[in-house]
Amino acid sequence: MSIRQQIPQDDSAIDALMAEAFGPSRHARTVWHLRQGDAVPELCFVQEDAGAIIGSLRFWPILLGGKSALLLGPLAIAKDYKGKGFGKALVAHAIARASQMAYHAILVSGEPDYYPQFGFVSASTSEFLWPGFIEEERLQILWLAEDAAPLMPGVKAILPTGA
């Protein structure tokens, strides 16, 4: 198993993986309002086993309270590979890389019990303004620097960078 940066030739395999994980109407979810333009190229990773793509994770740039931040996802592991630590390795790898970049935080709308193992904490929807419906328990944040949270006091809008 190896993790490498995504290349254009991976697109169809990634699309098939996402269709398997999230179904045909996946782009209708509100999270896609925040995925405008391209994902951050340095943070598009695939996981391979014997030349086949078995995992994919991308991040989109967003604005959080007017500051640069990242939106984690979509993340998917092929069904035959789930529960074997591949997702954990992929997320940890990507967060380590993101931590070296100039982003203040990573937001995710995801499984409430999955992301705390990476340091994510619950983000209240009264403080973080998600553009659309979200189940409150799914919204989580990882601050990438100790002084990032105090830089953004009060209510913070979550916006696509293209907005």
Binding site for ligand COA (CB under 6 A): 21, 75-77, 82-88, 110-111, 113-114
Output 24 or 153, the one with its CB closest to ligand COA: 24
CB of 87 to ligand COA, least distance (A): 2
Residues 6+ apart with CB under 8 A from 56: 6, 10, 14, 17, 18, 45, 46, 47, 74, 75, 76
d(CA 5, CA 108): 21
CB of 16 to ligand COA, least distance (A): 13
Output 85 or 132, the one with its CB closest to ligand COA: 85
Cα angle 142-110-37, degrees, rounded to a multiple of 5: 80
Which two tokens mark 20?
A: 């398997």
Output 18 or 157, the one with its CB closest to ligand COA: 18
Task: Kindly tell me the sign of the dihedral angle through the C-alpha atoms of 40, 93, 79, 72.
Answer: negative
CB of 75 to ligand COA, least distance (A): 5
Strands 2-5 and 45-49, how do they pair? antiparallel
Closest chain position to ligand COA (CB): 87
Output 65 or 110, the one with its CB closest to ligand COA: 110
CB of 153 to ligand COA, least distance (A): 28
d(CA 70, CA 118): 15
Q: Which helix (H) or strand (E) holds 90?
A: helix 86-99
Output 111 or 136, the one with its CB closest to ligand COA: 111
CB of 1 to ligand COA, least distance (A): 11
